[in-house]
């Protein structure tokens, strides 16, 4: 999916919601465990309930690969089931060099046909550029994360912290039509700082809902001229309910988030 298609979907749906598919067999409704593939059945129903409300889905790869071959099969079926109009993100946080990075790119772009992948940029340019060799595919670099330890390195450097150095350098590797950044929702002032140095890039913003970030703060500090945001909610949507009506409750939760976004789009 290219930049124009993604922007168009946001304006058409009046939404920049990304639903995180962090599917844990221990947390899904118990009645789904009777299905041959409980993880896929859960994802399928969440997708059916939310695909018209969100613009993107973000499976967290750790929740699938920990299950071994069956988890990878659930992931494959999930990606094939997601409507083509929805942007897909492999939340894999890969980061390695040379042929290894090239194989990771092949895995997620060729084998599984994701639109994008999250990347840890610590190893520099040659760990990122293999992901940028694919037409209409995206690299999403970790920049300012919402976890407690994020400041250990990202904020290091005084007046010009490391995350700014990373973003300024990465901006020379690709344009805003191929490169996004992960920017946590829990620090509004840092979102504003990021927007100054990456005025056109999309930001993937986790941390809304369960982690305490708000849609209003993200939109206020991070919106670009063409919105430029994918605001992710995982647990707050997919685990909104735990009984047989869980998909309806997920939809209701997604609707509430989208209603907050509509005021800014």
Which residues participate in catalysis according to the annotation? 93
- The string of DSSP codes covering 27-90 is TS-GGGGGSSSHHHHHHHHHHHHHTTT-SEEEEBTHHHHTTTHHHHHHHHHHHHHS-TTSEEEE
Closest CA to 71 of 42, 30, 114: 42
Look at strands 138-144 and 17-21 and give their pairing.
Answer: unpaired
Q: For residue 196, what are its two tokens? A: 């100054």
* Residues 253, 240 contacting (CB under 8 angstroms): yes
């Amino acid at each position: 999916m290219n930049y124009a298609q993604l922007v168009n979907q946001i304006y058409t749906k009046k939404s920049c919601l990304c639903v995180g598919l962090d599917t844990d067999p221990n947390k899904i409704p118990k009645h789904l465990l009777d299905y041959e593939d409980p993880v896929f059945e859960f994802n399928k129903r969440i997708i059916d309930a939310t695909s018209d409300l969100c613009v993107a889905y973000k499976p967290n790869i750790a929740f699938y690969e920990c299950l071994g071959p069956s988890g990878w099969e659930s992931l494959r079926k999930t990606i094939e089931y997601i409507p083509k109009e929805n942007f897909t993100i492999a939340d894999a946080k890969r980061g390695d060099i040379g042929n290894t990075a090239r194989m990771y790119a092949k895995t997620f772009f060729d084998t599984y046909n994701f639109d994008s992948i999250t990347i840890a940029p610590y190893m520099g340019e040659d760990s990122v550029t293999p992901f940028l060799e694919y037409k209409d595919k995206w690299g999403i670099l970790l920049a300012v994360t919402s976890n407690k330890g994020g400041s250990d390195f990202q904020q290091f450097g005084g007046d010009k912290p490391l995350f700014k150095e990373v973003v300024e350098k990465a901006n020379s590797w690709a344009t805003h039509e191929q490169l996004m950044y992960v920017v946590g929702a829990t620090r509004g002032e840092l979102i504003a700082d990021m927007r100054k140095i990456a005025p056109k890039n999309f930001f993937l913003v986790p941390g809304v809902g369960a982690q305490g970030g708000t849609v209003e703060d993200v939109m206020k500090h991070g919106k670009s001229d063409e919105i430029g945001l994918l605001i992710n909610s995982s647990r707050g949507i997919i685990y909104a309910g735990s009984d047989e009506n869980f998909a309806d409750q997920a939809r209701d939760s997604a609707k509430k988030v989208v209603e907050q976004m509509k005021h800014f789009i």
